[in-house]
């Protein structure tokens, strides 16, 4: 049986997914308007959001971890604006 992923690991993985979204290469032909590029970036950001979305409702999670989740949500929104040039 696989061991459960800890809250700290989820936060680290979410930040890694956000970084991966920044590193997706922009297609030469259509640039940032390429639908597969947009879908790939949004999927990575969605995965990051899904990893941490239940952390604030989890019993026993510290206030610091909850604050980290808020920061991750802000990082996801910022990444969406800077990578795709539009709000989520």
Domain residues for the domain of 26 are 7-83
Model pLDDT for residues 52-74, shown as the tens digit of each residue = 999 988 888 888 999 999 999 99
Number of domains in the chain: 1
Q: What is the pLDDT of residue 18?
A: 97
In a domain, 1, yes or no: no
In a domain, 88, yes or no: no
Burial 10-20 (b: 16+ CB within 10 A, else e): bbeebbebbee
In a domain, 2, yes or no: no
Q: What is the pTM of this model?
A: 0.87
CB 48 within 8 A of CB 76: yes
In a domain, 73, yes or no: yes
Q: How far is CA 66 from CA 8, 28, 31, 48, 60, in A?
A: 11, 39, 36, 15, 11
């Amino acid at each position: 049986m696989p061991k459960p992923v800890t809250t700290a690991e989820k936060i680290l993985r979410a930040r890694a997914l956000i970084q991966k979204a920044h590193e997706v290469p922009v297609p030469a032909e259509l640039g940032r308007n390429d639908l597969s590029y947009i879908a790939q970036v949004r999927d990575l950001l969605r995965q990051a959001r899904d990893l941490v979305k239940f952390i604030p409702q989890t019993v026993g999670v510290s206030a610091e971890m909850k604050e980290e989740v808020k920061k991750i949500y802000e990082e996801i929104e910022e990444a969406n604006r800077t990578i795709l040039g539009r709000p989520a």
